[in-house]
């Protein structure tokens, strides 16, 4: 069942509950961990890409590669109803094109730890959007889990963020991207349930590739195609964009935007582990505590979700 905003009797933006309201099973936890493991490396890959490539080139190349990756997947060719084209186009803009442009620009002004910490607001925003569209508050246990997850993520990222020289511009860009993500998670749920993740995301990435092309072309003059950054962006496009967006779309289609959004809480955790492995960083006591809080918050949020009783659309 989906609900949303109507204009002239036509639904222009809607969401739905997940197809599975039960507590997370093995499949849901596997999807969540898969997304976290892949997207947890995105900040590091973007930093490597920025060593020789313009931010807009990174965005353009990763989105185009993600689209080409899904183009060869047979399930991605499932036809879509024409009435859903505007929704898929909107999804391509708010979930892919706009955030993918904002993050590389933001990371020129703030470090990846702070970016990851700010990104933890995604589950809160997705919950607020779902509450408005479905006109139903989340269970107190789920609300507590979301709040704990956010607090734990702050604990993980705070030590590094305090030592950074964060520019207001970078912070605002990440916040804007976070709002886009929160909206997109809700928009993706009914589309994924109707057509499957590959079909929806292939077209959404196609829209994003077209939308980011002018920015990418403009950044070519200021880019150098060094081997390391190029390989990093290739991985960012094929795996972190093409594959990961499909996994995340499947997750939110199964469990809804509110519960699926908690995958974002694990991203700074993975990024921190990568920092230990590749940069010999040290985990502080506050970060260990943050990890424990994130895990407990995610478990609370993953519990059974009550079914929303259908109400007539708003006039």
Q: For residue range 70-85, what is the model confidence (pLDDT) as tens digits?
A: 999 999 999 999 989 9
What is the enclosing helix (H) or strand (E) of 76? none
Residue 282 is predicted with a pLDDT of: 67
pLDDT band (50, 70, 90) for residue 14: low
Confidence check: pLDDT of 163 > 70: no
Confidence check: pLDDT of 315 > 50: no
Average pLDDT value for residue range 57-72? 96
Residue 6 is predicted with a pLDDT of: 47
**Contact predicate 77/119, CB 8 Å:** no
Residue 105 is predicted with a pLDDT of: 85
DSSP for 234-261 reads HHHHIIIIIIHHHHHHHHHHHHHHHHHG
Confidence check: pLDDT of 314 > 50: no
Write the CB contacts of 210 (distance below 8 Å, at least 6 apart in sequence).
Answer: none
> Rounded distance, CA 210 to CA 65, Å?
12
Predicted structure pTM score: 0.82
> Rounded distance, CA 124 to CA 185, Å?
12
Q: Residue ranges of the domains in the chain? A: 21-301
The most confident of the ranges 18-22, 42-46, 121-125, 275-279 is: 42-46
Beta-carbon count within 10 A of 100 CB:
28
Residue 220 is predicted with a pLDDT of: 94
pLDDT band (50, 70, 90) for residue 113: low
């Amino acid at each position: 069942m989906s609900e949303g905003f109507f204009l002239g009797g036509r639904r222009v933006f809607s969401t739905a509950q997940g197809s599975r309201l039960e507590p997370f099973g093995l499949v849901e936890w596997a999807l969540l961990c898969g997304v976290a493991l892949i997207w947890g490396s995105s900040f590091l890959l973007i930093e490597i890409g920025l060593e020789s490539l313009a931010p807009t080139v990174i965005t353009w190349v990763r989105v185009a590669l993600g689209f080409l990756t899904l183009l060869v997947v047979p399930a991605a060719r499932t036809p879509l109803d024409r009435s859903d084209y505007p929704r898929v186009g909107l999804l391509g803009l708010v979930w892919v094109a706009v955030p993918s442009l904002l993050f590389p620009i933001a990371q020129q002004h703030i470090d990846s730890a702070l970016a990851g910490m700010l990104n933890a607001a995604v589950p809160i925003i997705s919950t607020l959007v779902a509450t408005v569209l479905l006109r139903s508050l989340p269970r107190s246990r789920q609300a507590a889990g979301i709040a704990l997850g956010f607090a734990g993520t702050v604990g993980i990222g705070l030590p590094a963020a305090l030592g950074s020289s964060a520019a207001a511009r970078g912070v605002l860009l990440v916040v804007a991207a976070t709002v886009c993500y929160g909206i997109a998670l809700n928009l993706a749920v009914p589309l994924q349930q109707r057509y499957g993740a590959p079909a929806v995301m292939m077209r959404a990435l196609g829209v994003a590739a077209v939308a980011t092309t002018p920015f990418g072309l403009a950044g070519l003059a200021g880019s150098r195609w060094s081997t390391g950054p190029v390989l990093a962006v290739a991985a960012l496009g094929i795996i972190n964009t093409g594959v990961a967006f499909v996994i995340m779309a499947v997750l939110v289609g199964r469990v809804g935007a509110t519960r699926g959004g908690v995958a974002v809480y694990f991203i700074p955790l993975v990024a921190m582990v990568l920092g230990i492995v590749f940069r010999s960083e040290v985990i502080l006591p506050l970060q260990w505590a943050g990890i424990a809080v994130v895990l407990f918050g995610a478990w609370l949020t993953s519990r059974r979700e009550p079914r929303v009783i259908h109400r007539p659309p708003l006039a």
